[in-house]
Structure 1
Amino acid sequence: MRLNSYVYFGIAAICFSLIGAALYMQLALDMLPCPLCVLQRYAFIGIGLFALIAGLFNGIRRPATALALVSALGGAGVAGKHLYVLANPATSCGIDPLETGLNKIFLADLLPSVFRADGLCDTPYAPILGLSIPGWTMVWYCMMAIVLLVLLLQKNRPVSIFSDAR
């Protein structure tokens, strides 16, 4: 197995763990997700699925990596908007067409605890280690985007953990 496969599996594991953390905050701590939170969940799931595909199938590794990178950049954009809303509460997304549209997607009906937007974007939850939840998602999106960009731009050399490093 190529060394890069472990990196892709690590990215997927981080993304799915972050979705698990989001579900814990929602279900155990009663922190309802807003429309921007749900969009960030979609981005993490996209990154995780495309990274998993890239790790499993060498033939489509580059397109899957590119799609994971696009998901990370899209998630960073949504997290940036969420941080802007938190800094300027007068611009809350509240109950708007975005929430209505997101809640009409079939996944919101299939898995409402994961994909249903019921919260408000400007709800000031307590920071975790000094950063807000969208601040932490921005950190993760940026780190993943950098790693995915490096993976995308590197030459396609067959490297294994069992080969000689020269």
Structure 2
Amino acid sequence: MSFRLVFALIFVVCAALLGTAFYMEYGMGLEPCPLCWLQRYAFMAVALVSLLALLHNPVAVGQRIYGLLLAVFAGTGLGLAGRQLWLQSLPEDQVPACGPSVDYMLEVLPWMDVLKTALRGTGDCAEVVWRFLGLSIPGWTAVFFAILVVVGLVLLGRRPGRH
């Protein structure tokens, strides 16, 4: 499969996943928790890298760099999804307290405090509000991020060239 086709497919998948996330928020009324927001940003970063790789169509070292960026951003998303899955697995008495909405925190707190709170997760992050085939939202994002990490690592280790 060609380098450009791989990144075109990744871009389309990320756009579809982000579209689904916004539908779940605005169409279904599911309020995203702080970790959900960070996972969205990770998908946006992967989509941006994919779009740049698609447009740039580099050879040799450039292909490896895009593979590395893909693996790093998808790996970050996988870590965030893993954190949320861990929070969801906690017994009720160990779940952290719920916090204010991300919008409110952005209005009243410095952005570094918002980021720290989001990375820690809140009780909102531990709540399972939707399932499909037995997996919660962070379960599905973890699946997609894991696939993207593997693709990035394959591209990183692949012998570059125009295919």
1:140 maps to a residue whose letter is: F
Aligned length: 147
Q: How does 1:9-158 map to 2 (within 5 A)?
A: 9-59=8-58, 60-88=62-90, 89=92, 90-92=94-96, 94-95=98-99, 100=105, 120-158=124-162
Percentage of matched positions with identical amino acids: 35
Q: Is the 8 A contact 2:3 2:162 kept in 1?
A: no
1:82 maps to a residue whose letter is: Q
Unmatched 5+ residue regions in structure 1?
106-118, 160-166
2:12 and 2:86 map into 1 onto residues whose CA distance is 28
Query: For residues 112-131 of structure 1, what are the alpha-carbon distances to aligned partners after superposition, in whole Å with 9 as ceiling and x for unaligned?
Result: xxxxxxx9212221311111
Q: Is the 8 A contact 1:54 1:62 kept in 2?
A: no
Q: Which residue in the other structure is 1:162 paired with?
A: none
Runs of 4+ in 1 over 2 A off after TM superposition: 58-65, 89-94, 98-105
2:49 maps to a residue whose letter is: F
TM-score (norm 2): 0.79
Q: Which residue in the other structure is 2:115 paired with?
A: none
CA apart distance, 1:101: 5.7
2:136 and 2:154 map into 1 onto residues whose CA distance is 28
Q: Is the 8 A contact 1:68 1:148 kept in 2?
A: yes
Cα gap change, 1:65 to 1:26, in 2 (>3 Å): same
Q: Is the 8 A contact 2:81 2:138 kept in 1?
A: yes
Q: Name the Cα RMSD after superposition.
A: 2.8
1:23 and 1:156 map into 2 onto residues whose CA distance is 36
TM-score (norm 1): 0.78
CA apart distance, 1:94: 2.9
Cα gap change, 1:45 to 1:93, in 2 (>3 Å): farther
1:5 and 1:93 map into 2 onto residues whose CA distance is 45
